[in-house]
């Protein structure tokens, strides 16, 4: 191994560890809020239908935020990914600080709280794609940061924080969720600021023609054309990826619905917020092996095959939740997370990175986040809250199974077309 390869390997290990800490801080702060949003807002007098509307507004807002900012990052070399990410983290801290202050002084104005909370959710949902893109900046510049391992660390820390916060909510009430958010996001600020290596500067995606040498960053003569079009132009230029996004949206609508209204499912089998904490902890814990071993999976199976496996297990999770009659059965249903979301997340980010032209990669990550978080949350929240209020939890879960099955079918079609297009390109 040459000295250059040794240096790159050392950089990769250091950056993987650092990125794992970023993932841990982000997801512990995120899940402290996300897992108990329904209970927090319900405790302040909001109906499940109205909570669903707020989820939907937050989801739509996050889609607009991600597509707008990702287009600016892809199209403007002066706008740095790190700067945008730091601004978003800072806004979450400001909004979380206000909500925490209201909690401390006992100010309970549902309209004001709902508005601030919705703004915070918009930014939290939107942050996910930018946190992911931080890693791929280095991957696309020749440093093999292990995304699966780092995201797996995020999952296992989620497992721990879900148990802790679930028990804290039982003891102290849902208002305590802002303390871990503030603590972890303050750590996130420091971690993002220091996420760098000498000789590599994060701006926007420039993976083609970028030569990484120790202490030297240069562009080759080979360049690529920037596409300045918006979202519709992106979708037209990438039809197979666009169809794949539809499948992701359908599958993740079921997944997001179940997570959003987990407290309702738990109460239906005699559980509480502590049950929610344990279910989410189990799900996060079993994600870890799949994410840590993802690079090994990729050597054996293509990303498209892994995405098909994940799509099938999204159906299984929704079906097992429908059949659950006890807390123990909910815990067993959570085990499907290993082969559903545990595989889907790294596989979809890798697929997004390879299925579109290099100049579209930040936007591709934003689009998949928009489909799986933004749009899926919008539809799921609007219909989920209404279904539960009017028809009950079982009807809600039946619809979740239907969405997961439809998503699996579309993922099969889109990944099949992608594999076929790759074979056509390889032909002389």
Q: How confident is the model at residue 319 (pLDDT cuts 50, 70, 90)?
A: very high
pLDDT band for 414, please (50, 70, 90 cuts): very high
Domains in the chain, number:
1
Which pLDDT value is given to residue 208?
Answer: 27
Average pLDDT score over the chain: 83
Does residue 394 belong to any structural domain of this protein?
yes
Q: Say what the pLDDT of residue 76 is.
A: 52
Q: What is the pLDDT of residue 190?
A: 94
Rg of the chain taking only CA atoms, in angstroms: 21
Position 290 in a domain: yes
Are 363 and 68 a contacting pair, CB within 8 Å?
no
- The reply to whether 224 falls in a domain is no
* Each residue's pLDDT tens digit, 134-152: 887 777 777 778 887 888 8
Q: How far is the C-alpha of 99 from the C-alpha of 88, rounded, in Å?
A: 17
Residues with Cβ within 8 Å of 94's Cβ and at least 6 positions away in sequence, in order, are none
pLDDT(160) > 90: no
pTM: 0.70
What residues pair up with 197 in beta bridges, in sequence order? 200
Mean pLDDT confidence for 183-191:
95
In a domain, 191, yes or no: yes
204 found inside a domain: no
Higher pLDDT, 98 or 298: 98
Residue 71 lies in a domain: yes
Helix (H) or strand (E) holding 161: helix 147-172
Contacts of residue 167, Cβ cutoff 8 Å, sequence gap at least 6? 274, 277
How far apart CA 152 and CA 156 sit, in angstroms, is 6
Which domain does 192 fall in, by range?
3-196+235-423
Give a yes or no: residue 228 inside a domain: no
CA atoms 204, 65, 283, 407: torsion sign: negative
Residue 209 pLDDT > 70: no
Q: What is the pLDDT of residue 345?
A: 86
The pLDDT tens digits of the residues spanning 3-22 come to 666 777 777 888 889 999 99
Higher pLDDT, 403 or 234: 403
Phi-psi region of 223 (alpha: psi -120 to 50; beta: other; left: phi over 0): beta
Residue at 12 is within a domain: yes
Is 77 within 8 Å of 395 (Cβ atoms)?
no
The domain that holds 116 is classified in CATH as 1.20.1250.20
Angle in degrees, 0-180, between the axes of helices 110-139 and 81-105, rounded to the nearest 10: 150
Name the least confident of 74-78, 214-218, 417-421. 214-218
pLDDT above 70 covers a percentage of the chain that reads: 88
Residue 379's pLDDT is: 83
Min mean pLDDT across 20-29, 75-84, 331-340 is at 75-84
Does the pLDDT value for residue 90 go beyond 90? yes
Query: Of the ranges 72-81, 367-376, 402-411, which one carries the lowest mean pLDDT score?
Result: 72-81
CA distances from 198 to 190, 316, 341 (A): 17, 46, 34
The least confident of 11-20, 68-77, 124-133, 399-408 is: 68-77
Q: Under DSSP, is residue 173 helix (H, G, I), strand (E, B) or coil?
A: coil
Query: Is the distance from CB of 262 to CB of 255 less than 8 angstroms?
Result: no
């Amino acid at each position: 191994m040459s000295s250059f390869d040794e240096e790159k390997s050392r950089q990769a290990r250091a950056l993987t560890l650092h990125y794992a800490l970023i993932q841990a801080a982000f997801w512990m702060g995120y899940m402290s809020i996300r897992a108990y949003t329904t209970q927090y807002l319900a405790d302040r007098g909001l109906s499940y239908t109205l909570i669903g509307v707020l989820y939907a507004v937050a989801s739509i807002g996050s889609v607009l935020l991600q597509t707008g900012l990702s287009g600016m990052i892809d199209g403007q070399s002066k706008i740095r990914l790190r700067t945008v990410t730091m601004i978003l983290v800072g806004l979450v801290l400001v909004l979380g600080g206000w909500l925490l202050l209201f909690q401390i002084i006992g100010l309970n104005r549902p309209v004001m709280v709902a508005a601030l909370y919705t703004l915070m959710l918009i930014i939290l949902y939107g942050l996910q794609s930018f946190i992911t893109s931080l890693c791929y900046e280095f991957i696309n510049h020749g440093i093999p940061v292990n995304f699966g391992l780092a995201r797996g660390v995020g999952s296992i820390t989620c497992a721990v924080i879900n148990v802790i916060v679930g028990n804290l909510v039982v003891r102290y009430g849902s208002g305590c969720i802002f303390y871990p958010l503030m603590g972890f996001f303050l750590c996130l600020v420091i971690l993002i600021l220091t996420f760098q290596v000498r000789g590599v500067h994060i701006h926007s995606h420039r993976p083609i023609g970028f030569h990484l040498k120790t202490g030297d960053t240069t562009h080759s003569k080979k360049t690529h054309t920037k596409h300045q079009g918006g979202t519709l132009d992106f979708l037209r230029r990438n039809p197979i990826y666009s169809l794949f996004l539809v499948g992701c949206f359908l599958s993740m609508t079921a997944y997001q619905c179940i997570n959003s209204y987990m407290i309702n499912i738990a109460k239906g089998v005699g559980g509480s917020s502590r049950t929610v904490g344990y279910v989410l902890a189990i799900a996060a814990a079993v994600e870890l092996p799949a994410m840590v071993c993802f690079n090994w999976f990729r050597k054996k199976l293509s990303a498209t095959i892994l995405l098909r496996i994940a799509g099938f297990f999204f159906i299984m999770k929704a079906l097992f939740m429908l059949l659950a009659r006890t807390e123990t059965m909910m815990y067993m249903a959570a085990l499907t997370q290993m082969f559903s979301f545990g595989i889907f997340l790294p596989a979809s980010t890798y697929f997004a990175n390879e299925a579109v032209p290099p100049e579209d990669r930040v936007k591709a990550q934003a689009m998949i986040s928009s489909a799986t978080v933004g749009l899926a949350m919008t539809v799921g929240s609007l219909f989920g809250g209404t279904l539960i209020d009017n028809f009950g939890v079982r009807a809600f879960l039946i619809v979740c199974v239907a969405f997961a099955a439809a998503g699996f079918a579309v993922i099969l079609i889109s990944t099949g077309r992608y594999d076929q297009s790759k074979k056509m390109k390889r032909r002389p």
